[in-house]
Amino acid sequence: MRVAVIVNPAARKGGALARWPAIQAELDKRLGPVEPMFTEAPGHATHLALNALARGVRRFVAVGGDGTVNETLNGLLEPSGRLIYPDAVLCPVPAGTANELSRALGHLAVAGSAFDAAASPLTRPIDLMRVRCAGPDGRPVDRFGYLIVALGLAATISHRTSQSRWLKKLGEVAYLLMTPGVTLGYRQRDISVEIDGVPTGTRRLFTVMVGNTENGGGGMKLLPGARFDDGVLDLIEAGGVSRLEVLTTILPKLYSGAHVHHPKVRTARGTSFRFASDVETLVDLDGEMVGRLPLEVTVLPQAFRVGTV
């Protein structure tokens, strides 16, 4: 089996590089001696994946966090979001901070499962999200993701966490530590929300998330009940409350998923969403800041496959 092993040495702020010898030993055991391709800069995994695809490789092991997996996946897709080669398979090996795709696949709970899946002939489909928004430089962004698109407060927490070198070294708890300070300094803003072509109004919101997986943010149950292969995306929005109430009555329930019962938290499901605001509002895709509103998210059902056991 020809396999491309793409390793982001910078994932978990360098922790992935420290873990690489142990990871390589596990991969070697199952796949035979593997030749790692180390990423040298943000975006490099996409080029490495694309080049390997051109050499006939169809199995891609992405060693890093969700950013690495996302960049690798983007190298396997046509601009339309279809796989360039339908038999391409992606196998995430968790070595980043949050590793949410690996968590959703159950790899964090079972030792060795990510390595076994990397060598297994079995695969399962995953829905893809197409995200279009304004890029950081104002130019349009058109990207694909598989976890959660967050806008507003949640995107700002993610962005500020990724900027903090020492915090990210702490792993998934980093997001939690960053949350109170960012929340207390954040202003709700009017955001218009359209679901499946139907305007649902403009509301004063702290944050909105649209996602494929129920987990996100380092082990939180952000979108309880979301399934990554059902062809539908789940939405959650929160607003019309004080910052203190967000901190004391909503955020503490994110790990259990009980926040969805809060009267100021609204949930919905759909296949396409549009958001806009007059106030600059950050957009985060799969843990990486990709731009700002206006934003359009659409689902591409079962668009790619991951290795499974």
Ligand X SMILES: Nc1ncnc2c1ncn2[C@@H]1O[C@H](COP(=O)(O)OP(=O)(O)OP(=O)(O)O)[C@@H](O)[C@H]1O
Contacts with ligand X, 158-177, as mask; x by CB under 6 A: ----------x---------
In DSSP terms, 9 is beta-bridged to none
Choice from 68, 183, 207, 277 touching ligand X (CB under 6 A):
68
Q: Is 287 in the site for ligand X (CB under 6 A)?
A: yes
Q: Is 215 in the site for ligand X (CB under 6 A)?
A: no
Do 289 and 283 touch, CB atoms closer than 8 A? yes
Give dist(CA 87, CA 60) in Å, integer.
11
Choice from 99, 113, 183, 281 touching ligand X (CB under 6 A):
99
- In the complex, which residue's CB is closest to ligand X? 65
DSSP run (H or E) holding 113: helix 113-119
Q: Is 46 in the site for ligand X (CB under 6 A)?
A: no
* 77 DSSP assignment: B
Across the chain, the runs of DSSP E, i.e. the strands, are: 3-7, 36-38, 59-64, 89-94, 123-134, 140-145, 148-152, 189-195, 198-205, 207-211, 215-216, 220-221, 233-238, 265-270, 272-276, 282-285, 288-307
Number of amino acids touching ligand X (CB under 6 A): 23
Stretch binding ligand X (CB under 6 A), from 94-102, 120-128, 141-149, 176-184: 94-102
Q: Is 213 in the site for ligand X (CB under 6 A)?
A: no
**Distance from CA of residue 256 to its chain's centroid?**
19
Stretch binding ligand X (CB under 6 A), from 77-85, 96-104, 190-198, 254-262: 96-104
Nearest distance from C-beta of residue 72 to ligand X, angstroms: 9
Give dist(CA 201, CA 213) in Å, integer.
25
Q: Is 44 in the site for ligand X (CB under 6 A)?
A: yes
Residues near ligand X (CB under 6 A) are 8-12, 39-42, 44, 64-68, 71, 96-99, 168, 287-288
